[in-house]
Amino acid sequence: MEYFRTQYGINLKNKKILIECRMVKELERCGAETFAEYLKMLQKDRTGEIAGGMVNRLTTNFTYFLREPEHFTILKERVLPELALKKRYGSCQIWCAGCATGEECYTLKMCLQEYQDQGGQLPNVRILATDISEEVLKKAEQGIYPERERENIPLSWREKYCQDIDKNNFRVNENLRYNIRFQKHNLMEPMRQNGKFDVIFCRNVMIYFDKVSRKQLVSRLEENLNPGGYLFIGHAELLSREETSLEQVYPAVYRKSENA
């Protein structure tokens, strides 16, 4: 648990039983008989394979399309028109931090397309979607989801953006998958990225972090925002003035000063 916290910032202190249940198969896969033996293997491994397996077992990736829909209304009605004016002759970068299986970044693409279809002007928008789990990134890149997830998407959007695969699964269309780059990234490490972001979505991620790691994460997110950029966090999360200099402009939405 301590190794996971120091490496990834995620606090699993009160989830000992959950960890043991999830890690039994991982120990078997690695040929370790005890947790102590597994930890030694983990510390000696230079390939990252064992750490990757642990991350895939222990991370929670619950999400769905149009989660916390108020955020996407704010994006369409407030943020995108502002970016259209500021970035008229340039490009715009959006970061989905902790993207899980990709529903959030594809919802973003749907909103961008709807905004343009309704006459809104936008610069070239590029989306970076990151997660620490290679397993969920593969699923996100494929863009294939069980039929039950379609229920969260408005009916008119389903017809435009979803393609049937079979009676149990659908896929988001190719246009949505275009211009999204999926990348493995540990939020406790510096972002290897040219340029900063105009919008960052890091929602329902901090709830898994301890106080120290959370403060480090907020600092990194703020550092990676352009002046005037927006940070969207989960509605169950709240940033104090001690944690950030960003100004809260809407519920769970923060903005970096133009003069920062």
d(Cα 246, Cα 224) in Å, to the nearest integer? 12
Nearest Cα neighbor of 200 from 116, 105, 115 is 105
pTM, two decimal places: 0.84
- Position 18 scores a pLDDT of 60
- Position 208 scores a pLDDT of 80
> CB-based contacts of 157: which residues, under 8 Å, 6+ apart?
110, 114
d(Cα 147, Cα 33) in Å, to the nearest integer? 39
pLDDT above 70 (res 5): no
By the 8 A CB rule, do 193 and 224 touch?
yes
Structural domains of the chain sorted by starting position, each given as residue range(s) with its CATH number in brackets: 2-58 (no CATH), 70-143+174-255 (3.40.50.150)
Overall average pLDDT of the 165-186 stretch: 94
100 dihedral zone (left: phi>0; alpha: psi -120 to 50; beta): left
- Position 56 scores a pLDDT of 66
**What are the tens digits of pLDDT across the range 201-237?**
999 988 888 888 889 999 999 999 999 999 999 998 9
pLDDT above 80 (res 193): no
**What are the tens digits of pLDDT across the range 114-172?**
999 999 988 889 999 999 888 899 999 999 999 999 999 999 999 999 999 999 999 99
> CB-based contacts of 73: which residues, under 8 Å, 6+ apart?
none
- Position 12 scores a pLDDT of 64
Question: Where would I find the H helices in the chain?
Answer: 2-8, 16-30, 35-44, 49-58, 70-74, 80-86, 103-117, 134-142, 155-161, 174-177, 211-223
Q: Which residue has the tokens 């999204």?
A: 180
Mean pLDDT of the chain: 87
What is the pLDDT confidence band of residue 1, given thresholds at 50, 70 and 90? low
Overall average pLDDT of the 177-203 stretch: 91
Task: State the catalytic residues.
Answer: 22, 131
Q: Which of 16-20, 37-41, 66-70, 90-94 has the lowest mean pLDDT?
A: 16-20
What is the pLDDT confidence band of residue 76, given thresholds at 50, 70 and 90? very high
Q: Which of 54-63, 70-79, 172-181, 211-220 has the lowest mean pLDDT?
A: 54-63
> CB-based contacts of 216: which residues, under 8 Å, 6+ apart?
9, 188
What is the pLDDT confidence band of residue 2, given thresholds at 50, 70 and 90? low
**What are the tens digits of pLDDT across the range 6-41?**
666 666 666 666 667 667 777 777 787 787 787 788
User: What is residue 147's DSSP assignment?
Assistant: G
What does residue 144 show for φ and ψ, rounded to 5 degrees? Answer: -110, 130
d(Cα 86, Cα 157) in Å, to the nearest integer? 28
3-state secondary structure 177-198: HCCEEEEECCCCCCCCCCCCEE
66 dihedral zone (left: phi>0; alpha: psi -120 to 50; beta): left
Hey, how many other C-beta atoms are within 10 angstroms of the C-beta on 239? 20
